[in-house]
Copies of this chain bind each other. A is one copy, B any other.
Amino acid sequence: MSKGKVSLKDIAQTAGVSTALVSYVLNGKEKESRVGQEIAVRIRQIANELNYQPNYLAKSLRSGKTQTIGLIIADISNPFFANIARIVEDEAKRNGYTVIIGSSDENPDKSWDLIKVFLTRQVDGFIIVSSENSEEQVHFLKERNAPFVLLDRHFPEIQTDFVSLNNYKAAYEAGSHLIERGYTSIGLIAYKSRLFHMQERIRGYLHSLRDNAIAFRPTWLKEVSFQSIDQEVKAGIDEMLASEQAVEALIFATYRIAISGLKYINALGLNVPDDLAIVSFGQAEAFDLHYCPITYLEQPMEDLGKTAVGLLVNKLENHQEEPKQVLMEARLIARDSSRLKVLVS
């Protein structure tokens, strides 16, 4: 890159002073450093004329701060994370930070890699959407005293800052909502994952059945793996429909699962909601465009992203010590895919 070239030294030379003075003035430290009025004005003017742009590398090298945040998400091409990324980016910028983003693909090796790269790049702090089996990484960052905030997911057994959803409650509401609407055989397709947020969604679902005196059937719950979503979702739906207590409503635990599931349901020629009612986590245009708009749990993405940045910046700038933990509520947006069940006589 052809540099701005103009350095403090250039300004100092044309002004006939030392670089120290220039630095003081340009950093607004004229008062503390007792710089003369006239020369201050002069320096500022010269800086303008030469179109001086400070060299961040040098600044950072000196200060140890890069004003950069590393954001690790599962996959930027997933609309949920793309939105989060956008919000984090904007909010960080408002606070004078730049964001570098990396996608882990839910793979702990990749996120290790990203952490290493980001550390090498001397990010000031991290915002991380953890993948399964990455507890080690969280401990590593804690030990290294690297500021970070977990987003969307967290490990209840590790004391950290985090911002996530009250997933238990959200799933509980999804189940209760379907029950209220007259459905009694309700399935859930979730990820096969030990991640807390996923377990909470499952737990919420189960409790909603229990509290409404519905006996849960094992075939109703299908846990699919990231690597072969489409295949396993199909199998899951097939099983749920074939069992003697066939499912008449289905909850998708994530956006990706929903996309996969809805495609298959369409392919099967099933009608939503008459053949199968639907509630899904996540929100996206795809849900609005569906011939039968999909009921979903709206995640407060704006809040999630902004709060995560807020917590991190606070940590970075005020050296806040005690971990802050935030749980946010999802809002169920009821649409036609879960409308009152039509009773067939």
A interface residues, Cβ below 8 angstroms from B = 1-4, 53-58, 60-61, 64, 66, 75-77, 79, 82-83, 85-86, 89-90, 93, 98-103, 117, 119-125, 144-147, 259, 262-263, 266, 284-286, 288-291
B288 and A290 form a contact (CB under 8 A): no
A117 and B89 form a contact (CB under 8 A): no
A64 and B289 form a contact (CB under 8 A): no
A277 to B172, CA, bound (A): 41
Contact of A2 among B2, B123, B144 (CB under 8 A): B144
Q: For A288, list chain B residues within 8 Å (CB).
A: 259, 263
B146 and A2 form a contact (CB under 8 A): yes
Separation in Å of the A257 CB from the closest CB of chain B?
A: 12
How many protomers of this protein does the assembly include?
A: 2
Separation in Å of the A266 CB from the closest CB of chain B?
A: 7
Known: A100-B98, A285-B259. A86 touches B79 (CB 8 A): no
Separation in Å of the A140 CB from the closest CB of chain B?
A: 12
Q: Given known contacts A76-B76, A90-B103, what 20 new A-B pairs fall within 8 Å (CB)?
A: A1-B122, A1-B145, A53-B119, A54-B120, A55-B61, A55-B122, A57-B60, A76-B82, A76-B85, A77-B79, A79-B82, A93-B117, A98-B117, A98-B121, A259-B285, A259-B288, A263-B289, A266-B291, A286-B289, A289-B290
B86 and A103 form a contact (CB under 8 A): yes
A198 to B59, CA, bound (A): 42
Contact of A103 among B89, B286, B290 (CB under 8 A): B89
A55 to B62, CA, bound (A): 12
Known: A1-B64, A64-B3, A76-B85. A56 touches B121 (CB 8 A): yes
A102 and B89 form a contact (CB under 8 A): yes
A155 to B48, CA, bound (A): 31
Q: For A289, list chain B residues within 8 Å (CB).
A: 259, 262-263, 266, 286, 289-290
Q: For A61, list chain B residues within 8 Å (CB).
A: 55, 57-58, 61
B1 and A125 form a contact (CB under 8 A): yes
A56 and B144 form a contact (CB under 8 A): no
Task: Considering the complex, give the chain B residue whose CB is closest to the CB of A75.
Answer: B86
A33 to B76, CA, bound (A): 44
Task: Considering the complex, give the chain B residue whose CB is closest to the CB of A70.
Answer: B98
Which of A3, A117, A123, A147 counts the most chain B CB atoms within 10 A?
A: A3
A124 and B259 form a contact (CB under 8 A): no
A127 to B219, CA, bound (A): 49
